[in-house]
Amino acid sequence: MADAASNDGFVVFDRVQKSYDGETLVVKDLNLSVAKGEFLTMLGPSGSGKTTCLMMLAGFETATHGDIRLGGQPINNIPPHKRGIGMVFQNYALFPHMTIAENLSFPLEVRKIGKSDREAKIKRALDMVEMGDFGGRRPAQLSGGQQQRVALARALVFEPELVLMDEPLGALDKQLREKMQFEITHLAHELGITTVYVTHDQTEALTMSDNVAVFDDGRIQQLAPPDQLYERPENSFVAQFIGENNTLEGVVTEINGDKCIVKLDDGEIIDATPINVNKVGDRTIVSIRPERVEYNKERLQEGVHTLKAEVLEFIYMGDIFRTRLRVAGNDEFIIKTRNAPDVERLTPGQQIEIGWLPSDCRALDA
């Protein structure tokens, strides 16, 4: 995956802005490059501009400023039917009066594909989503999940180079959603399709994508593969948005290369890694994942600062223990510990000492 807005991406957003009313920008200076065959997800809260970006890419909206390029060409120079884009939207209606096979035939007829070719492609697409036996039915005779699969088959039947999906699994129950997440990524990779996928479900984004663009307020806050996004959030928005994170507030009192010391507001001292704090005196929110906090004395690293904590709640969850602590005045400090014979089960009221590797604790903008 190339860096933002390089010219070699298959899909490129180059300094794209969008305003609907001529005043407020709902997309602000967006740079994004999606490589051929890549599965990219736009993830972000409601109203952050995800659908707007997809609509501009599809050609249903135009950018107010900047360029969108597809295969190196500005998209507004390519007529919609030549863009080769397949689309699946949330509750994207199938044509109710047509059979499933006719629904799939439609995009092929539009592209002037002959009858015998059409039949072969329809069969292949329906088989792909395991709906091969349903070609003669009408949409109303299918379950919601089956309709979603047909919508997916219809988006893929003409073998588009690019598929856009906007919350395509939103209406499905958890089990079917997870199955479809797997099917979609599997198909996209198998067929070498470039996919731009929109969701506000972070688990979905993490499990499906090669890269995730985290949106907030019309900007990409971070663009990275799932593991990097989770383990190395670059700012406090991303740290808060992806997964669970404990936060403590304080002031940077020392910076030494990739280590810094933070004095928390209640006076305690901790070690952290400076991410987007620049100098001594900067206010910071430090963030630590619940599974990276250690309370077993033997496992606490020599020489790093520890913090006193009071156990408020201990929840046995089977595979893990989830413990809520009061740490530096924060009553919502969570730690997760793997359930193992040598791990102590804590009791509310107990006083413990916690610590972490400085590399697991990130000092971010306040």
Ligand X SMILES: Nc1ncnc2c1ncn2[C@@H]1O[C@H](COP(=O)(O)OP(=O)(O)OP(=O)(O)O)[C@@H](O)[C@H]1O
Residues that bind ligand X (CB under 6 A): 20, 26, 44, 46-52, 200
Greatest Cα pair distance in the chain? 76
Taking the complex as a whole, the smallest distance from the CB of residue 204 to Mg ion amounts, in Å, to: 14
Taking the complex as a whole, the smallest distance from the CB of residue 147 to Mg ion amounts, in Å, to: 20
Contact 162, 194 (CB under 8 A): yes
Distance CA 200, CA 198 (A): 7
Question: Whose Cβ is closer to ligand X: residue 26's or residue 214's?
Answer: 26
Which of ligand X, Mg ion, none does 49 bind, CB closer than 5 to 8 A by kind?
Answer: ligand X
Q: Does 51 bind Mg ion (CB under 5 A)?
A: yes
Taking the complex as a whole, the smallest distance from the CB of residue 320 to ligand X amounts, in Å, to: 31
Residue whose pair of structure tokens reads 């006719």 in the numeric block: 102
> Residue 81 corresponds to which tokens in the numbers above?
């039917």
Question: Whose Cβ is closer to ligand X: residue 87's or residue 128's?
Answer: 87
Which of ligand X, Mg ion, none does 47 bind, CB closer than 5 to 8 A by kind?
Answer: ligand X
Could you tell me the strand order of the sheet in which 65-70 lies? 27-34, 11-18, 65-70, 73-74
Residue whose pair of structure tokens reads 């199938």 in the numeric block: 94
Q: How far is CA 115 from CA 88, 122, 132, in A?
A: 24, 10, 18
Question: Whose Cβ is closer to ligand X: residue 51's or residue 194's?
Answer: 51
Residue whose pair of structure tokens reads 């707007």 in the numeric block: 52
Question: Whose Cβ is closer to ligand X: residue 48's or residue 245's?
Answer: 48
Which of ligand X, Mg ion, none does 211 bind, CB closer than 5 to 8 A by kind?
Answer: none
Q: Which stretch binds Mg ion (CB under 5 A): 45-53, 170-178, 251-259, 330-338?
A: 45-53
Contact 85, 159 (CB under 8 A): no
Question: Whose Cβ is closer to Mg ion: residue 90's or residue 185's?
Answer: 90
Binding site for Mg ion (CB under 5 A): 51
